[in-house]
């Protein structure tokens, strides 16, 4: 693929992100105040433009493989659960669990929907297409991905310091999810499981109202991150990200084998 074509695809990905960012609020204003309808519209913006882009550029075959959803669900769920087990146990110890407030709606709204659709959109699509198709190196693609992911969460901050903290945490989380996505050979189910379960434990045990968290929460979150990184470095070989490809991958194709 010629360099010019790569930049065309990069601009398409960035343009879709900008369109979603500014058109989604307008569409929500149109539909009114019905909560369920607003949720449908909100998350439709995460998947419909992505599927249309992939179908037009790749065809109807191989779309789920491009996104990292074609295989690897059992492995992704198993290791996602094991990696987040320290958070589950730790939050159960330090959190303020209100069992009367637990509900299916809490699980779906706080964990399942954002965890699945944000990973599909930010990692499977935005990061994935820049890294796999546009030839961006890991650091460049992950930095852009972390920037847009972090900016999408800064509304959680109530002060300058808190806003910067939320941005740093979500930026770092985006880079971590992207790294796992690549090193586990295009298996998006692992970042999805991690994202869903981390959100779920955060909500069920009423840890914090923002992604920043306190000292105790971040200790257990840090253990989860460390466990996933150490296990991946020891088990997933050969490395999928090399020094030569940190900034620019050129025409080298990524490993899209089944996990």
* DSSP codes joined into one string, 40-64: HHHHHHHHHHHHHHHHHHH-STTHH
Residue-wise pLDDT for 76-133, tens only, equals 999 999 999 999 999 988 877 777 778 898 899 999 999 999 999 999 999 999 998 8
Q: How far is CA 89 from the centre of its chain?
A: 23
H or E, element range at 230:
helix 215-235
Q: What is the pLDDT of residue 237?
A: 73
Q: What is the pLDDT of residue 252?
A: 64
Angle (deg, nearest 10), helices 160-183 and 189-204: 140
Q: What is the pLDDT of residue 3?
A: 61
Q: How far is CA 22 from the centre of its chain?
A: 20
For residues 212 and 150, the answer to whether their CB atoms sit within 8 Å is no
Q: What is the pLDDT of residue 258?
A: 47
Rounded to an integer, the average pLDDT of 213-236 is 89
Q: What is the pLDDT of residue 41?
A: 95
What are the residue ranges spanned by the domains of the chain?
A: 67-245
* Distance in angstroms (rounded) separating the CA atoms of residues 235 and 231: 6
Residue 250, Cβ neighbours under 10 Å: how many? 12
Q: How far is CA 65 from the centre of its chain?
A: 17
For residues 141 and 199, the answer to whether their CB atoms sit within 8 Å is no
Residue 50, Cβ neighbours under 10 Å: how many? 24
Per-residue pLDDT at 146 exceeds 80:
yes
Residue-wise pLDDT for 166-217, tens only, equals 788 888 999 999 999 999 999 999 999 999 999 999 888 877 756 666 777 8
DSSP state, 70?
S
Residue-wise pLDDT for 42-68, tens only, equals 999 999 999 999 888 877 778 888 899
* Distance in angstroms (rounded) separating the CA atoms of residues 232 and 176: 12
Taking CA 202 as the corner, what is the angle to CA 138 and CA 89, rounded to the nearest 5 degrees?
100
* Distance in angstroms (rounded) separating the CA atoms of residues 219 and 115: 21
Structure tokens at 232: 């991946």
For residues 113 and 236, the answer to whether their CB atoms sit within 8 Å is no
For residues 222 and 109, the answer to whether their CB atoms sit within 8 Å is no
Rounded to an integer, the average pLDDT of 21-41 is 91
* Distance in angstroms (rounded) separating the CA atoms of residues 59 and 39: 28
Residue 4: CB partners within 8 Å, gap ≥ 6?
none
pLDDT band at 4 (very low <50, low <70, confident <90, very high): low
Q: Helix or strand or coil: residue 248?
A: strand
Q: Determine if the pTM surpasses 0.85.
A: yes
């Amino acid at each position: 693929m010629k360099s010019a074509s790569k930049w065309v695809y990069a601009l398409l990905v960035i343009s879709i992100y900008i369109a979603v960012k500014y058109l989604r609020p307008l569409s929500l204003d149109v539909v009114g105040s019905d909560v369920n309808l607003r949720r449908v519209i909100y998350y439709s913006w995460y998947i419909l433009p992505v599927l249309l882009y992939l179908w037009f550029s790749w065809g109807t075959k191989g779309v789920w493989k491009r996104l990292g959803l074609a295989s690897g669900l059992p492995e992704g769920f198993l290791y996602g659960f094991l990696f987040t087990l320290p958070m589950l146990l730790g939050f159960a110890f330090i959190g303020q669990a209100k069992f009367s407030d637990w509900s299916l709606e809490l699980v779906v709204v706080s964990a399942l929907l954002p965890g699945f659709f944000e990973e599909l959109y930010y990692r499977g699509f935005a990061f994935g297409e820049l890294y796999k198709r546009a030839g961006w190196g890991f650091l460049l693609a992950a930095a852009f991905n972390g920037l847009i992911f972090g900016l999408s969460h800064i509304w959680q901050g109530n002060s300058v310091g808190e806003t910067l903290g939320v941005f740093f945490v979500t930026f770092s989380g985006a880079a971590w999810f992207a790294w796992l996505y690549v090193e586990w050979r295009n298996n998006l189910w692992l970042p999805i499981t991690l994202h869903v379960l981390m959100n779920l434990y955060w909500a069920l045990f009423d840890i914090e109202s923002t992604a920043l968290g306190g000292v105790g929460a971040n200790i257990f979150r840090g253990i989860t991150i460390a466990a996933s990184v150490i296990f991946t470095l020891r088990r997933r070989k050969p490395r999928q990200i090399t020094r030569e490809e940190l900034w620019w991958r050129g025409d080298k194709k990524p490993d899209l084998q089944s996990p």
